[in-house]
């Protein structure tokens, strides 16, 4: 419980770097408010963590995210829904 308190306190007081703010602006232009951006940190690392409101945290590369790839669970669900819709049309 104590660890959780300090972890959240640290996240609440974190100030984004200019580079992180630029990346967040680019991602918001693509996804809008679909994901949470509060865990975007240290852009130099390969993967960036975003927050899906339905499935929680997920990490992906900046390249994949800027190409429109988002939460893998949401993507799979959309494909299943499309497949079911096309099946019902038959």
Q: What pLDDT digit, counting tens, does each position of 49-71 carry?
A: 999 999 999 999 988 998 888 89
pLDDT tens figures, 5-47: 344 445 567 888 999 999 999 999 999 999 999 999 877 777 8
Domain that holds residue 39: 18-88
Residue 4 inside a domain? The answer is no
Give 84: exposed, middle or buried? Use CB within 10 Å, 0-12, 13-18, 19+: exposed
pTM of the model: 0.69
pLDDT tens figures, 77-87: 888 888 888 88
| 44-82 exposure pattern, b = at least 16 Cβ within 10 A, e = fewer | eeeebbbebeeeeebebebeebeeeebbeebeeeeeeee
Residue 11 inside a domain? The answer is no
Residue 13 inside a domain? The answer is no
Count: domains in the chain: 1
Residue 12 inside a domain? The answer is no
Residue 74 inside a domain? The answer is yes
Q: Give the distance between the most distant pair of CA atoms in the chain.
A: 56
């Amino acid at each position: 419980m104590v660890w959780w308190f300090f972890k959240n306190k640290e996240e609440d007081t974190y100030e984004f770097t200019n580079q992180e703010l630029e990346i967040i602006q680019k991602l918001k232009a693509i996804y809008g408010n679909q994901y949470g951006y509060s865990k975007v940190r240290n852009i130099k690392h390969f993967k960036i963590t975003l927050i899906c409101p339905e499935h929680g945290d997920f990490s992906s590369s900046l390249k994949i995210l800027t190409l429109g790839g988002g939460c893998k669970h949401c993507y799979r669900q959309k494909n299943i829904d499309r497949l079911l819709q096309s099946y019902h049309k038959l």
